[in-house]
Amino acid sequence: MAFSDDIKRIYQTGGISIKTIMIFAVIFVTTLILNFIVVSVNRQGLSIQENLSWLAGTAHLPSLFFKPWTIFTNILIHDGPRHFFGNMIGIYFFGRVLSQFMSDKDYTATFLLSGITGFLVYVVFFNLLHALGVFEGSLVGSSIVGASGCVMGILGASVAYAPMMRFNMLIVQPPLILIAGIYVLIDLSTISTFSNNLGGSVAHVAGLAFGYLAVKFKQDGKDILSWFTRLLNRLTALFAGKSNPRGKMKVKYRNKDFKSKNKSKRTTTKTDADYNVQKVDRQAKIDAILDKIKRSGYESLSKAEKDYLFNEGKRL
């Protein structure tokens, strides 16, 4: 019980990037179990991507028509530990940066829509090349999985907010825009030479572009994420209502002796109130800094403001 309580506490108190990683970890373990079952039944050592093809994305339009859920589920599946941990590291570092500038709902919308956009661009790109005769044969065997497009999306959004923010990599501290530029150059090189993971590179570039443009449009007063955040709000309300259909239970104590014996609880309440006041003050200061970034850019911040924003980011 203690271990499960610790996991719940980490999930409840962790930032949005920690929550995302924990959700993906549960999904990854589940896919490993499913893959083990499939391999045990079929007696074939196929990859997770092949064994769970009913969850993987494909550029073959007839197959996609009969598996529309794969537009979303393809970003949840990872084809092995290296693929999984690589993306989780990206979520942890880039997610902590973006969560300084976005609400959890906007972060989630940017994350998911970047992945979905990356997949849709991959489908269009492969079908275009097939129509032009670059790819011979059928696209039936085409397949793509992974949250790389999502990760690149939060990197692109972070660059849009603070391109020159330094990223601590122990020995060097390159700005975010340089990191994004290196990723893009690698992916463009893969695309131009039709190397391995061509589809993944297309999804990477498309995901990064979506995250970047989503922020730029929002700064210009056009929120292209709003419809998706409204959808998330409705889903959250729906599931919250199902999990607690009777609403919150209220307990009223009338025993004065009970109250007198529990003075410590009143002290705790006071401490919580103080904590909430401090939290509001911190958030107000963060909002003021973010407004300054929106007006004049990240470089307009003083060193003290940059340090404060960085330290608050580490609290997430």
Phi, psi of 157 (to 5 degrees): -65, -40
What would the pLDDT profile of 170-214 be if each residue is shown by its tens digit?
788 899 999 999 999 999 999 999 888 899 999 999 999 999 999
Residues 271 and 223 in one domain: no
Q: Is residue 51 part of a domain?
A: yes
Tell the residue number behind the tokens 């297309």, with chain if given: 202
**Which tokens go with 21?**
């990683």
Collapsing DSSP to helix, strand or coil, 229 comes out as: helix
Residues 64 and 98 in one domain: yes
Residues 151 and 299 in one domain: no
Residues 68 and 143 in one domain: yes
Residues 270 and 125 in one domain: no
Q: Is residue 90 part of a domain?
A: yes
User: Which residue among 174, 200, 232 closes a domain?
Assistant: 232
Where in the sequence is the domain holding 160, given as residue range(s)? Answer: 2-232
CA-closest candidate to residue 95, choices 107, 77, 113: 107
Q: Is residue 226 part of a domain?
A: yes
How far apart are alpha carbons 52 and 234 in whole angstroms?
A: 30
Amino acid at the residue 147: A
In percent, the amount of the chain with pLDDT more than 90 equals: 54
Q: How many CB atoms lie within 10 A of CB 67?
A: 18
Distance of CA 308 to the CA centre of its chain: 24
Residues 272 and 136 in one domain: no
Q: Is residue 251 part of a domain?
A: no
Residue 81 · residue 48 · CB < 8 Å: no
Residues 293 and 192 in one domain: no
Any alpha helices (H) in the chain, and if so which ranges?
2-13, 16-42, 48-51, 61-66, 70-73, 81-98, 104-131, 148-161, 176-193, 198-219, 226-243, 256-260, 263-296, 303-315
Residues 119 and 213 in one domain: yes
- The predicted pLDDT at position 254 comes to 54
Residues 183 and 303 in one domain: no
Residues 214 and 283 in one domain: no
Q: Is residue 240 part of a domain?
A: no
Collapsing DSSP to helix, strand or coil, 175 comes out as: strand
Amino acid at the residue 117: T
How far apart are alpha carbons 21 and 109 in whole angstroms?
A: 16
Residues 225 and 277 in one domain: no
Residues 150 and 283 in one domain: no
Q: Is residue 23 part of a domain?
A: yes
pTM: 0.76
What would the pLDDT profile of 231-274 be if each residue is shown by its tens digit?
988 888 887 766 555 555 455 545 555 444 444 444 444 455 56
Residue 73 · residue 55 · CB < 8 Å: yes
Which CATH number does the domain housing residue 31 bear?
A: 1.20.1540.10
In percent, the amount of the chain with pLDDT more than 70 equals: 84
Count of structural domains within the chain:
2
Q: Is residue 247 part of a domain?
A: no
Q: Is residue 249 part of a domain?
A: no
